[in-house]
Amino acid sequence: MRLIDFISERDRYLSFPWMATAGLQLCGYTLYDVYLSPQRQLEVAQRMNQEFNADFTYPMDDGAIFVETLGLPLLKPDFDFPSVLENPIKTTKDLEELQVPNPYSDGRMPLNLKALELIATRIRKPLSLSIQGPFTLAVELVGATDFVRAIIRNPDFIEKVLDFTNQVVGDYARATVKAGTKFICISEPTAVILSPDRFEKMVAVRLRALYNSLGPGVWKVLHICGDTRFLLPHMLECGAEGLSLDQVMDLSSIIKTVPQNTVILGNLDPVYDLRELSPEEVRAKTLELLRSMKGHSNYMFSFGCDCTPDTPLDNLRDAMEASRTRFVDL
pLDDT at 117: 98
63 vs 130: CA distance, rounded Å:
8
pLDDT at 226: 96
pLDDT at 60: 84
What DSSP letter does each residue of 249-298 carry, written as one string? S-HHHHTTTS-TTSEEEEEE-TTTHHHHS-HHHHHHHHHHHHHHTTT-TT
Q: 3-class DSSP state for residue 180?
A: coil
Domains and CATH numbers, the chain: 30-261 (3.20.20.210)
Give 10-residue mean pLDDT values along the chain (330 residues).
Answer: 95 91 92 96 95 92 94 94 96 98 98 97 96 97 97 97 98 98 96 96 97 96 97 97 97 96 97 96 98 96 94 96 97
Query: What pTM was estimated for this model as a whole?
Result: 0.97
Helix H or strand E segment including 165: helix 155-179
pLDDT at 20: 79
Could you tell me where the beta strands, DSSP code E, fall in the chain?
A: 74-75, 83-84, 128-132, 183-187, 219-224, 242-245, 263-268, 299-303
pLDDT at 17: 84
Number of H helices, E strands in the chain: 17, 8
For residues 167 and 70, the answer to whether their CB atoms sit within 8 Å is no
Please name which of 22, 16, 45, 65 lies closest in space to residue 245, comparing C-alpha atoms. 16
